[in-house]
Amino acid sequence: MLLVAEMWYPAGKGSETGKVYFEAMKKFPDDKTISKPIIRTAIHATKEGMHNITISSIKPGKVKEAMDIANGRLLMFAAIEGFTYTIYLAYDLAEAMPFVGLEAPQE
């Protein structure tokens, strides 16, 4: 199971967003017993501003804990004018294979 978080903010808010990011990571650090970062942060500019994406692989049975950490981090950005985000869960390839009639490879 993958946790995907996408964030958007005005380009002029980059410095403020960066400072909050470091605060959020201190307050809600990665916990390897809950999830493993796959893409810690990928950022690109759009005509609307900056777009950031993070993807983590969630350990079995740890969805609630992973969501709690992600929500805690992202709520710290709420005071930044123009900042928006979305969080969603996605299946990884092995988890999704049964939906198309294929068996997932055994590890």
User: Alpha-carbon distance 47 to 28, whole Å?
Assistant: 31
The predicted structure's pLDDT at residue 87 = 97
What is the value of pTM for the model shown? Answer: 0.87
Residue 6: what residue type? Answer: E
Match 């869960």 to its residue by tokens: 89
96 SS3 class: helix
Q: Classify residue 7 as exposed, middle or buried by CB count within 10 Å of its CB (0-12, 13-18, 19+).
A: buried
For residues 104 and 16, the answer to whether their CB atoms sit within 8 Å is no
Mean pLDDT by 10 residues, the chain (107 residues): 97 95 96 96 95 97 97 96 96 84 76
Residue spans of the domains in the chain: they are 2-50+59-83
